[in-house]
Amino acid sequence: MADVPHYKKKKLGAYPYLSVVLSITTALFVLGIFTILLIDARKIAQAVQENLEIQLFLNNAITDNEKLQLELPLTEKHYIQQEANQPTYSYISKEEAAKELTNQLEEDFQDLLGENPLKDSYVIRLKANYYQPTQLQKVEQDLENLNGVVDVAYPRSLAKDMTENIATISFILFSFALFMSIIVIVLIHNTIKLALFSQRFIIRTMQLVCAKNSYERKQLLKTAAWQGINSGVLAFGFLWAFIAYAESQLEELQALHPIEMLLVIGLSLIGIGVLISVISSFRAVNKYLAMSLDELY
């Protein structure tokens, strides 16, 4: 057989492996971009929320000792942001507050009033999920009940607007991602259905040369699984390149995309690719296996 050159041209009637892989890759890539967009949006929203400060104004009459005693209940509040497992809060004395206000006003208001009307305060930040209006009210009440606290202050309307805006944006993004996922699934499903439609006579011929249905199914599903894996890996590669480019343009983005997160997304893309590919192939193959010749035409 040495005299026959090996045939390398596109094989006529072969399973359109490359087209299918490219279609699935595109679909998975778009899905990946959206997942990352969704995660980024959540992270940014969380960061914005966590920057919101809450001030606890203290009774002028309480002693330094009582002030220190206040710190213990503060460390026990689970809703306060933590750093290295320690709740973070800072103490601002009324003198410091006055200095800051004077700087802001560029005028010494104490001269005008003859005294410092400000109060000592603790400044805390909440964990992101305590910024819901109902949660915030509970937190506020809880803080006001602390001995020595006279007032709890935070930019109320800002907190409210922020929560509402984030909810709206999250909802829109999420619906869009859901919609995208459905499109991706339908697209992959149809691509595979068409690819196997082009193979229906080959499937029948295989039956005629005494292949068991289970054998044919196994062969075709193996192909499907591989095309899912290849598409997932390709999509992940493109996604990685895309993010690397975005990060080179905008360095702040780097903090948003830890490598573990990208790897999880990559593995998910591969998993989704394999799952949809195999399920779609399974359905299509079974259909053609069960068809008689007349139905195939």
Partner 1 sequence: MVFSTEPVVSVKDTTIYQKHNMVLTDVYFDIRKGEFVYLIGRTGSGKSSLLKILYADLPLYSGDVQVADMQLFNIAKKQIPFLRRKIGIVFQDFQLLTDRTIADNLFFAMKATGWKDSSKMKQRLSDVLLKVGLGSVGNKMPHQLSGGEQQRVVIARALINEPAILFADEPTGNLDPQVAEEILALFIQINHSGTAILMGTHNHHFLEKHPSRVLKCEKGKLLDSAVQAFDYKNIY
Among 59, 213, 226, 275, binds partner 1 (CB under 8 A): 213
| Residues whose CB is less than 8 angstroms from the CB of residue 215 and which lie 6 or more positions away in sequence, other chains included | none
Return d(Cα 188, Cα 192) in angstroms, integer. 6
Return d(Cα 292, Cα 207) in angstroms, integer. 11
The residue among 95 and 295 lying less far from partner 1, judged by its C-beta, is 295
Grouping H, G, I as helix, E, B as strand and the rest as coil, residue 265 is: helix
Return d(Cα 54, Cα 87) in angstroms, integer. 14
Residue 7 in the binding site for partner 1 (CB under 8 A): yes
Among 3, 111, 251, 260, binds partner 1 (CB under 8 A): 3
With tokens 């598409």, the residue in question is 231
| Residues whose CB is less than 8 angstroms from the CB of residue 199 and which lie 6 or more positions away in sequence, other chains included | 15, 288
Whole-number minimum distance, CB 277 to partner 1, in Å? Answer: 19
Among 38, 101, 177, 211, binds partner 1 (CB under 8 A): 211
Residue 209 in the binding site for partner 1 (CB under 8 A): yes
Residue 202 in the binding site for partner 1 (CB under 8 A): yes
Interface segment toward partner 1; rule CB under 8 A; list 9-17, 73-81, 170-178, 279-287 = 9-17
Task: Looking at 51-118, list the stretches that DSSP marks H as alpha helix, in order from N- to C-terminal side.
Answer: 64-76, 94-105, 109-113
- Most distant CA pair in the chain, distance: 109
The residue among 170 and 213 lying less far from partner 1, judged by its C-beta, is 213
Among 115, 208, 249, 251, binds partner 1 (CB under 8 A): 208
Return d(Cα 274, Cα 226) in angstroms, integer. 7
Host H or E run for residue 7 = none
Interface segment toward partner 1; rule CB under 8 A; list 13-21, 28-36, 50-58, 272-280 = 13-21
Among 141, 147, 165, 205, binds partner 1 (CB under 8 A): 205
Q: Which of residues 53-72 bind partner 1 (CB under 8 A)?
A: none
Interface segment toward partner 1; rule CB under 8 A; list 37-45, 51-59, 180-188, 206-214 = 206-214
Interface segment toward partner 1; rule CB under 8 A; list 8-16, 122-130, 133-141, 271-279 = 8-16
The residue among 53 and 295 lying less far from partner 1, judged by its C-beta, is 295
Return d(Cα 175, Cα 192) in angstroms, integer. 26
With tokens 């997304």, the residue in question is 265
Which residue(s) pair with 83 in the sheet? Answer: 86
Using CB under 8 A, list all residues that contact partner 1. Answer: 1, 3-7, 11-15, 199, 202, 205-213, 215-216, 293-294
